[in-house]
Amino acid sequence: MNLKKMIFINSIAIFLLCFATHFAYDLLPNPLFAIFFPVNESIWEHMKMLYTTILIYGLIEYFIYHKLHLEYHNFTLTLFLKAFLAIPIYLALYLPIFYNFGENMILNFAILIITIFIVNLIGYFILKFKNFEYQNILGIMLIISVYVIMIILTYKPPKMDIFFDPKEEKYGLNNYLIQK
């Protein structure tokens, strides 16, 4: 097995793991899970789900690469970039379709798998680069920084379409707690 084959395996695994992480907060609603998993059906919360799922699978991926003795570099930074880039790539594909044609679950899944494949392909090329000296520290700091932003946007989302939960007609987590 090589890194090229892992692109496909990782993409399918992340796609399937998204289904579990989508419902994690519903199963165990608590402040810790609110940081990592979607607290509502807004577009933004689904981006948080995608980001977290890629990072969770990254832990599994790390052990797979070690067990298979695959050569790779810059793993932590690559993991951050894959998770982070998934957000704008998904939104660039999803939003025009959503605003022009509305919600379509089959298209949503297709866009999700395409996005995951694209970021895994990007990750493949970054893993082939020469080692970047401070990539572990930089990757961890960037991952934490994005989660700080996610915490703020979960508890105090702006009143914008991307943060609106059309199912419950609310924004963010605090509105759930106040209005229930």
Q: Quick one: what percent of the chain has pLDDT higher than 70? A: 96
| Distance (Å, whole) CA 156 – CA 154 | 6
| Distance (Å, whole) CA 41 – CA 61 | 28
List, for residues 33-83, the tens digit of each pLDDT value: 999 999 999 999 999 999 999 999 999 999 988 888 878 888 999 999 999
Domain that holds residue 11: 3-179
Q: How many domains does the chain have?
A: 1
- For the residues 110-130, what does the mean pLDDT come to? 93
Asked whether the predicted pLDDT for residue 161 surpasses 70, the reply is yes
Residues contacting residue 121 through CB under 8 Å, at least 6 positions apart: 7
DSSP, res 170: E
List, for residues 127-157, the tens digit of each pLDDT value: 888 887 888 899 999 999 999 999 999 999 9
At 148, is the secondary structure helix, strand, or coil?
Answer: helix
Q: Who has greater pLDDT, 18 or 74? A: 18
Residues facing 9 on adjacent strands: none
In contact, 156 and 174? CB cutoff 8 Å: yes
Number of Cβ within 10 Å of residue 37's Cβ equals 23
Listing DSSP states for 52-119 in one string gives HHHHHHHHHHHHHHHHTT-----HHHHHHHHHHHHHHHHHHHHHHHHHHH---HHHHHHHHHHHHHHH
Task: Please give the model's pTM, rounded to 2 decimal places.
Answer: 0.91
Q: Tell me, what's the pLDDT at 68? A: 85
